[in-house]
Amino acid sequence: MPDPLKIACIGEAMIELSFDGAIPCVNFAGDTLNTAIYLRRNLGAEHRVSYVTTLGEDSFSDRLMGFIADEGVGVEAISRHPSLLPGLYAIDTSPDGERSFLYWRENSAARSLFCDGFECLLPFGVIYFSAITLAILPEDVRAAFLDWLEGSGKTVVFDSNYRPKLWPDVATAQSAIKTAWQLTDIGLPSVDDEMLLFADSTEQQVLDRLNSWGVTCGALKRGALGPLPLDTGLGICGPYQKAAIVVDTTAAGDSFNGAFLGAFLQNGDMATALETGHLCALEVVGTRGAITKCT
């Protein structure tokens, strides 16, 4: 029997403010945290998923730490900063379910992540992170992290969640994200992010560029159209079930990532992993907020 998986999901856990009608709702979320939770829900109990971030020493950070642990995600690699606080974001949802965000994260505790190096990552065999993870790191820490990954021998999983406001300019984002792609073993790009950042005109151009950088395993997320395998030679293209109702698209891609990885890392079957990820995303877009209730 294969050894149990030890997976580190790296990034920023945030306080989430949303509204149910006129009633404000406070929750916790963040792109890689969302994925960690859905990944944990889709893995056997013998496997371990842990979150890697930096929180403060305040009461909200304590609640956030408890939330993560209550979801079954390990908190042993979370560091605490003595004075900085977690970031906050607010979700604004349009009538058709599309979302936009307002952020208060410029001085969050997560921006001090890896200030003491990368030793906390040594116990893990799989490392998952996103372009948001890269964007919040200081430039020197970002470069050191990518250098460390290159020689780490870990299985690298990357999602190019491109958020232009987090980057000083397009060229910096392109350089860092290209480097990350070239280190990636399992890729989870979204077609709209890739087109926006690298000016690809078609899905095929996105696939060709990623393949040329060595990214041939994983899924290209296309929203309601359903995913495509990065290895187009597999010939898998659905059809995929359509959403019965779209309430809130928050975490659609993150939940896909978690469910896809849960299936693929356990059985290696791409068709099953694509379908599992898509069905999880359908459930998530039918509810408000990033994290559905665990049933």
Q: Which residues are catalytic?
A: 254
**Contact between 138 and 168 (Cβ < 8 Å):** no
Residue with tokens 């960690």: 36
Please tell me the distance from the alpha carbon of residue 57 to that of residue 75, in angstroms, as a whole number.
Answer: 14
Round to whole Å and give the CA distance between 18 and 49.
27
DSSP 116-148: T-SGGGTT-SEEEEEHHHHHHS-HHHHHHHHHH
Phi, psi of 283 (to 5 degrees): -65, -40
Q: Which of 22, 135, 48 is nearest to 87 (CA)?
A: 135
Q: How far apart are CA 293 and CA 284, in angstroms?
A: 10
Rounded CA separation 282/119 (Å): 37
Place of tokens 């294969």: 2
- What sections of 199-248 are H helices per DSSP? 203-212
Which tokens is 22 given? 């006129």
* 10 bridge partner residues: 52
How far apart, in whole angstroms, are the C-alpha atoms of residue 148 and residue 135? 17
Distance CA 22, CA 32 (A): 28
How far is the C-alpha of 264 from the C-alpha of 268, rounded, in Å? 5
Do you know the residue count of the chain? 295
